[in-house]
Chain A
C-alpha cells in the first residue's frame, strides 16, 4: 500500500464543471500512489478520461463520443436545466520543471460555450490550442502519446494491421517528426522537378519562335514608318482645327461680356421698382390688419347684444315656470294634510281589534295546556313503558340462552375433535412401534453383514501380505540376475575389445620387420606384380600352445621369412623394396628350397622326454612340406633342458635341440636360453589367442542371452504377481468401502430409531394431554347445560307478566284516543285565532307607515315652496340688470361700424395703385430673362469650343505625346481636305499590311538573347 508513497504527484487535481454528466463542479484531488476510479456502468467514469483528453487539446468531437463540440456541455436531465458552459482544468505540479514554464504550479483550462465558442487558458491567461500542444510535446503526455489509454485502445492494438502497428513503434521511437519533414522535402523536390521541366519547355519554345519573329519584326518596322507619317498628318489636321477653334472662342467671349453689362443695368432697375412695391404692400397689409381688427370688434359687440336678448327671454321663461311650480305645491300640501287625518282614525280602530284577539288567544292556549296534562297522565297509566322494559328483558334472556347453547355445542365439538385425534394418535403409536421394530431388525442384519465383511477383509489382507513377500523375493532374484547379466556383458565387452586389438595387430602385421611388413602389405594391396606370395612362415603354420615357445625358438628369425612361389617372385619383391626403400626381407621360393629330415634312431625318439622332430609337431599346408622340413626337419624338441642335454650328449651334439621352455642346445654343444618376453607379443601365439577369444566371446554371448531370457521370464512373473496384488488391494478397498457404507447406514438407522423413540414419547404425552382435556370439557358442558335450563324458566315467568300488562294498556289507550281528539279541535281553534291576529297586526303597521309617509311628503313640499319663492326674486333682479347692459352695447356697436366703412375706402385706393406697379415689374423681369437666355447660350457655345480645344490638346498629348506649345510648330497652311486625303491613303496602306506583331520588334532581340543564354 505504500510502495509509491515517496513518488511525487504530477497531476495534482482535475476540476470538471458542466462537462458531460458532471453538471456540478467536481474536484478530483489526486495524491501519490495508485488512484482508481470506480462506479457502476453509465455513471460517467469514462467522462473523466474524456475530460482530460479534451483539455489536452482533443479536436475531434467523435472521439469524445459526441457529434459536435458543444455536445460536451451538460445537456440537462429530467430534473435539471442544461448549463451554458463546460470547463475542465488540470492542475499540474511543476516543481520539477517537467512543463517548460517558470511556474511552480501550472493550470491548464479549456472552456466551451453553447454558441460553440471555445477558450484555452494557461494559468488563467488565454492562449491558443497550439501553445498547449507545444507545452506537452516533449513531456510524452500529449493526447497522441500513451498517457491516455482509453476503452477499446487495447482492442485497437490487437486489430491493427502490421504496418499500422509499426506507426505505434514510430511514435515511441520519435520518428513521426522525421516522417513529417521527409514529406515536406519530397513535396519540395517535386516542385523543383516541375520547375526544371518547365525550364526545358521554355527553351524548346524559344527556339521554335525565333524564325517567325524575325519576319514579324521586319513587317512591324515598315508598319511603324507608315504610322509615323500618318501621325504627322493627323497632328497637322488637329493643330489647324484647334487654331480655328481658338479664334471663334475669342469672338464669343467678347459678345458675352456685352450682354452681361446690359443685364446688370436691367436688374438694378427691377430692384428699385420692387422696393417701392414692397413698401406699398406693407402699407396695404397694415390697413388690412386694422380692418380685420375693427370687424372682429363689431362682430363681438353684435354677439354680446344677441346674447343679452337671449338671456332676457330665458329669464322670463324661468319666472313663468317657477310660478306654476308654486301653485302645484300649494295644492299638494292641502291634499296631504287631509290624508293624514283619515289615516290617524283608521290606525286607532285597528289597535283596538288587535288587543281583543290577543286576549282570546291566551284563553285557548291555557285550555290546550290543561288537556295535554291530562293526556300525559293517562299515557303514564297505560304503562306501555314497563311493557317495553319487560320485552327487552325477555329478549336479553333469550339471547343469553342461545349464547350458552352455542358455547355448549362448541365444547362438544372440541371434545369430538380431541377424541378423534386421540384415536388417530393411538393408531400412529402402533404404526410407529412396528416401524421401530423393523428398524431394529435392520440393524441386526447390518451388524451380521459387518462381521462377515470384516472376516473377508482379514483374509484378503493376509493374502495381500503373502503376495507382497513373494513380489519382494522375485524382485531380489531379478536384481541378482540383472547384476549377472551386467557382469557378463562387461566380460563380453572386454573380450571383444581385446580380440579387436589383436586382430588389428595381426592385420597390420605388427611385430614383423619393416621389410617383411612392407612386402606382404604391398603384395596384398597388389602393388607388387608377381606370381604368388604366401605370406610369412608364421602365418602359414599352426602350433599347439605348449609347443609354441619351442617352435618359435627353433625358427628364430626364420619366422619372418616370406614364402614365395618362385625365385623370380623373390627377385621382384626385393626390387620393390629397394625402390621404395622398404627395408630388407628374406624370401623362401618354393621351387628352390629342398627340405631334408633328420633320420634318428627309433630309440632316441621314443626316449622319455623327447617329443620328436619339430616339423612333426606343427600343422601346415602339404605344399609347404619341403619348406617346413628345410626349416624344422633337423631340430628335435624335448620336454626340458636336462633331457636335451642328455640327448645331445648321446648324439654327439650333431643337431639342434630345443626345449618347451625355449632353451636350446646348438650343434657343437653351445647352449642358448633364459627368460623370454610375454606371450601376447609372440607372432605365433597371436593368431591362436584371437581364436581362443572368439570362442570365449561366443560362449559369453550364449550365457548372456540365457541370463537375459531368465530376467524377462522373472519380470513377467513379477508383473503377474503385482497384478494379482493390485486385484487383492482393489478387493480390500471395495470391502472397506462396503464396510463404511454399512457403518453409515447403521448410523443412519440408529438415528432414525432415536427419532422414532422421540416421536413415540411425544405421542404418548399428547395422548395424556388429550385425555385430561376431554375430561375437563365434559365438566364444562354439564355446567353450561344447567345454566341453559335456568334461563328457560326465567323466560317463562317474564312472558306471563307481559300478558297481564298488555291488557291494562289496551284500556288506557281507548281513553287516550278520546282526549287526543279534543286536543286536536282546540289546537285548530287556537291556530285560526292566531292567524287573524297576525293579519290585523300587519294592517295596523301598514297604516302607520302610510301616515308617516304623508307627513314627511307634506313637509318636503313646504320647504320646496319656500325655495322657489326665493328663486323668483333673484330671477327678476337679474333680468333688469341684463336689460341695462344691452342698451349700452348697442350704442358702441353703431360707432364701430362707421369707423370700419372709412377704413375700407382707404384700402381700396392703395390696392389699385399697387397692381399697376406690379405689372411694370413683370415686364422688366421678362426682358431680363431674355437677356439671360442669350447669355446662357453664349456660355454653352464657349464651353463647347473649350471642350473641343481641350479634347484636341488631350488627343495630342495622349496619342502623340505633344503639348500645345510643341504642336504649334506643326501648324501649316495645308487645306483640311488635302490633309484628310493623305491620312486616308496612309491608313489604307497600313490596312494592307494586315495584323502586325509590334511586340516582335522588341521580342526578337530579347528572344535571341534568351536563346543565347
Chain B
C-alpha cells in the first residue's frame, strides 16, 4: 500500500512540474489531468474512494475539459509557444522558486516534527461521508449551495439574450432563443 502511494505521489509531482514547464498549453493541460488522476489514486489508497471518484468526475472530467475546450477554440499556434518560452526564462522563475523553496522547507520541518501515521487501509464508505456532511459540516454544505445558486443565476443572466430586431415590417421585442 505504502509503495503504491509513493508511486502515485511521485507521478503527481512529476506531472505537476510538467504542467508548469510545458510550452504547449494543450500538453500542459493533459499533464494536469494526469496529476489529478494520480491525486485520485492517492485518495483511493488512503481509504477515501468517494472523494477519489468525485475528484476524477469533477476535476479531470469536467473542469479540465472546459479548460481544454476553451484553449482549443483559441487555436494557439507557434506564436503562443514562443511567448511561453520567453516567459519561462531563468530570471522569471528563480525568485518565485526561491520563495516556494522556503515554504517547502517549512512544510518538511512541520511534517517531520509531527511524526507520521501509517496508511491503515480503512475504507470510509459514502454513507459516512454523507452523514458527516449533513451533521458536522451542515453550514458548509448550505453555504456552498447558496454560492452555487448565485453562480447559476449569474450564468443565466450572462447567457440571456434580449435582442431587438428592427425590421421595416415587423418588430420583435425581447425575443429569446
Q: Does A pair with B?
A: no
Using a CB–CB cutoff of 8 Å, the interface residues on chain B facing chain A are: none
Using a CB–CB cutoff of 8 Å, the interface residues on chain A facing chain B are: none
